[in-house]
Amino acid sequence: MGQLFGGVTILSAPSQYLASTEVESDSCALVWDRKTIREFVSRFPILLDNALSVAVTEHIAWAISARISLMSDDAAGRIANLMLSLACGIGKIGPDGVEIQVGNEDLAAGANVTPFTVSRTLSEWQREGILTKGRGKLLLRRPELLMDSK
């Protein structure tokens, strides 16, 4: 399954890209410069539809969800909401649950809490059997129970 990044390149005028992309596992990326991708889009308009679809369905939905979570959830709820979003977006489903490659610092930044709060919350969820912690990764064994934490 692929992911789009750097979609601002499709725009006619150069624009500063406000995010970065990092991979933590073996990956392959296809790269086009502005001129080439714009030629592709003019020849195959479905590419623009796909790019906009990704932006709307994933990025905007996540932003709205994060904003609502910040306004209405406590710290554990924000962490749970972020972890469920990550599980859906980048999680790998396995026989024991959903594995997410994410560290405490990343969760803390995404949920607007401290790394200590993330560590304490994850330890509690591990004791409850909801997840298993590993170095730079989490295995969600019972993601449905995170909904009760919100």
> In the chain, which segments carry CATH 1.10.10.10?
74-149
- Give the residue, 58 or 77, on which the prediction is more confident: 77
Burial environment of residue 31 by CB neighbours within 10 A (0 to 12, 13 to 18, 19 or more): exposed
CA distance 53 to 9: 16
Q: What confidence score (pLDDT) does residue 19 get? A: 64
Decide which of 110 and 14 is more confident.
110
Amino acid 6: pLDDT: 74
Q: How confident is the model at residue 123 (pLDDT cuts 50, 70, 90)?
A: very high
Query: Which pLDDT band, with edges at 50, 70 and 90, does 141 fall under?
Result: very high
Please, where are the H alpha helices in 93-132?
Answer: 104-111, 115-127
Res 131: pLDDT:
96
pLDDT (tens digit per residue) in 61-108: 667 767 777 777 899 999 998 899 888 878 899 999 999 999 999 999
Instruction: Tell me the three state secondary structure of residue 67.
Output: helix
**Percent of the chain residues topping a pLDDT of 70:** 85
Place of tokens 């209405």: 72
Query: Could you give the C-alpha distances from 17 to 9, 20, 53, 111, 144, in angstroms and in order?
Result: 9, 8, 19, 23, 35
CATH number for the domain running over 74-149: 1.10.10.10
Neighbours of 32 (CB within 10 A): 14
Cα atoms in the Cβ-side hemisphere of radius 13 Å centred on 46: 1
